[in-house]
Amino acid sequence: MDFTTHKADKRHLSAINRLIVETRIGDPMDKLHGTFWFARVNGEIVGCAGVELIGNNAAVINYVAVRAGFRKKGIGMTLLGKVMGFARQQGVNLIGLVTMYYLFNRFKKRGFRTCPRKELPKALMDHWMFTAQRYMKCAAMFRRYGK
């Protein structure tokens, strides 16, 4: 399947919100929380991923979503690569995310490890993604770069 990826801006917010709601990974956003990329197939936005920078060296990946019927075609992992690459270009050496437990092996392949929330690095511990009640049943994961 051919798809293209693009950096999102406020014009893409409604399509990204539809994906977030449709895939049941969160509530609609009033604005893009961080920097987002999306995947397009035949003019239709079918996937998205965002990354929010925290301070000078940390980031949280948020809202990785791919519409049913377009999954397992490399779209999600390509978008994940985009947000991780962007974070690294910004000097990030610590990156975190939350995910359903049945998906965490995909993120382990990208160097993430699971961690109890109370043991998360301080830079991530208080971020809303790790404290929101909605995500308490999700796996907390992080990855360090460098040193």
Calculate the average pLDDT of the chain: 94
Number of domains in the chain: 1
Residue 56 pLDDT level (bands cut at 50, 70, 90): confident
The CATH number covering residue 118 comes to 3.40.630.30
Q: Is the pLDDT of residue 134 over 80?
A: yes
What confidence score (pLDDT) does residue 47 get? Answer: 97
Helices (H), 4-137: 13-22, 75-89, 104-108, 122-125, 128-131
pLDDT at 146: 75
Confidence (pTM)? 0.91
DSSP 8-state symbol, 67: -
**Can you give the pLDDT at residue 58?**
97
Question: Above pLDDT 90, what percent of the chain?
Answer: 88
- Compute the residue count for the chain: 147
Alpha-carbon distance values, 116 to 11, 35, 47, 88 (Å): 37, 26, 28, 24
| Boundaries of domain holding 61 | 4-144
